[in-house]
Amino acid sequence: MREATTASSISYYDYIIIGGGTAGCPLAATLSQNYSVLLLERGGSPYGNPNITNLAAFGAALSDTSPSSPAQRFISEDGVINSRARVLGGGSCLNAGFYTRASANYIREVGWDGRAVNEAYEWVEKIVAFEPKVQQWQSAVREGLLEVGVVPDNGFTYDHIYGTKVGGTIFDQNGYRHTSADLLQYANPSRITLLLHATVHKILFRTRDGSRPKAQGVVFRDSRGIKHRAYLRQGPKNEIIVSAGALGSPQLLMLSGVGPVEHLRAHNITVTLEQPLVGQGMSDNPMNAVFVPSPVPVEVSLIEVVGITKFGSFIEAASGENFAGSSPRDFGMFSPKIGQLSTVPPKQRTPEAVAKAIELMDTLDHTAFRGGFILEKIMGPISTGHMELRTLNPNDNPAVTFNYFKDPLDLERCVQGLRTIEKVIDSKPFAPFRYVNMPVPVLLNMTANSPVNLLPRHSNSSLSLQQFCRDTVMTIWHYHGGCQVGRVVDSDYKVLGVDALRVIDGSTFNYSPGTNPQATVMMLGRYMGVKMLKERLAFDADRMGRV
């Protein structure tokens, strides 16, 4: 790794990869086996930053809103506070660590080769995936899910199958996080150049005689604002690959003149290719969580157990005295410090409301923090929105709308998920972790100032549960879309209408894979890298044969 300030003003490579994130790192490591690769990351290094590497500090990076933070906060037009990665390793440096594969059905529908997919997952898992030590609270959630019918018990597995299971984690037994940046240890060091704090402003295209535009280079700036150019070497198979994430990839295509014409012209961007579907199909899986106060202390845990229901809702849980937050008065994954404020509806989550929630949280008795959250996240989702540029600066967040629960089936899945959570809380295995005979008003009073949700108890009306879904919606950071397969890229992830340009990351997904997508995003980087190497070897052999 080196700072982009050390880069020469002009350089040449076989492949240029924009974004050293969850997909970009395994892709770069793979392509570097045979070819020269430039990997450009706009953020810094995750190594040596305890807020990233330590499980006990989960949430600290997400709550850091400084310009140098590994997390860049954004707020969707829906009003839900969210975050995007700005660090080598991408979202795998910030997330709750859950590692689980996509379903066999998902892999079939996307059209991937099943055997190559399994090999790519295994390549990733050798470095970053571990079996968690499941303790008492997570065990109670697991047993509760089984009792209420989320069966069978699938034990520990990375596979996505109906029932209840313990999934993998990227935290090892010492609570140390292993990110997609660790996959760079597979790289050929003599063929890879990795630049940090290198923000790509534009992809350069060559257009001649009305022929298809061909990507030929990029313009990037270092931390001092100095401009550099990197070009593809001469060669029919050399390419630029955008792996800048679900916000960054469509944003960069638009900044480079590939997008909806009217929108580009409104920003005085020269049109390279009219592509009205760039930035369309943006989705974020809605997440709704319920706090369950516990009469006894429980272990600190992030996501370990998941119930995969047949109706399209995934039930997960996180627990602990401080939910692995960075301070003794925190709710970790559900803390207003990281923007997870769900006690007021999305449009009311103003900076003032967030500040007030943090202030009230600091006045609570420590027993109010004892317990855990059970959450449900819906599959898909079916509801989609869109993204637009706000400015011409790639460091600025674009405007994005996700339209949570616009489709009634998404809302129905949330309601069914909440009903399942209610049954788990009432299950026998969960009894030691809930107050017996404590009426809900007392519970509500005990956590009156908590910025957390309790389930509206014994609410038989599905209408009120629908309202609860809408009013308490949060993100679980699984947003995707904007450069979708079949709309912006083809099944080989090549951008339609231009040459020598691909997009390989979560922006290409139509639906989120598995219960949590990071395993599949890492797999995709490796899978496509291997596929590109094989195709190139065949191409070179064919050319040699003809010579």
CA angle (61 as vertex; 3, 202 as ends), nearest 5? 45
CA distance 397 to 30: 30
Helix (H) / strand (E) element for 353: namely helix 351-361
| Burial track 527-547 (b if 16+ CB lie within 10 A, e otherwise) | bbbbbbeeebeeeeeeeeeee
Q: Are strands 305-308 and 163-166 parallel, antiparallel or unpaired?
A: antiparallel
Residue 546 amino acid letter = R
Structure-token pair, residue 70: 């590994």
- From the list 287, 270, 272, the residue with the least C-alpha distance to 215 is 272
CA distance 537 to 547: 15
CB 349 within 8 A of CB 357: no
The active-site residue, picked from 160, 178, 228, 478, is 478
Helix, strand, or coil (residue 230): strand
CB 239 within 8 A of CB 61: no
Ramachandran quadrant class, 348 (left: phi over 0; alpha: psi -120 to 50; beta: rest): alpha
CB 481 within 8 A of CB 282: yes
CA distance 20 to 118: 23
Beta-bridge partner residues of 230: 11, 218
CA distance 510 to 36: 31
CB 35 within 8 A of CB 15: yes
160 is catalytic: no
Name the CA dihedral angle for 359, 361, 362, 364, rounded to a multiple of 10 degrees.
140
Crossing angle between the packed helical segments 24-31 and 518-546, to the nearest 10 degrees: 30
CA angle (159 as vertex; 155, 163 as ends), nearest 5? 55
SS (H, E, C) 54-119: EHHHCCHHHHCCCCCCCEEEEECCCCCEEEEECECCHHHHCCCCEECCCCHHHHHHHCCCHHHHHH
Give whole-number Cα distances, 359 to 84, 323, 352, 451, in Å.
25, 18, 10, 10
CA angle (482 as vertex; 243, 477 as ends), nearest 5? 75
Q: How many residues does the chain have?
A: 547
- From the list 269, 202, 232, 194, the residue with the least C-alpha distance to 500 is 232
- Residues identified as active-site: 478
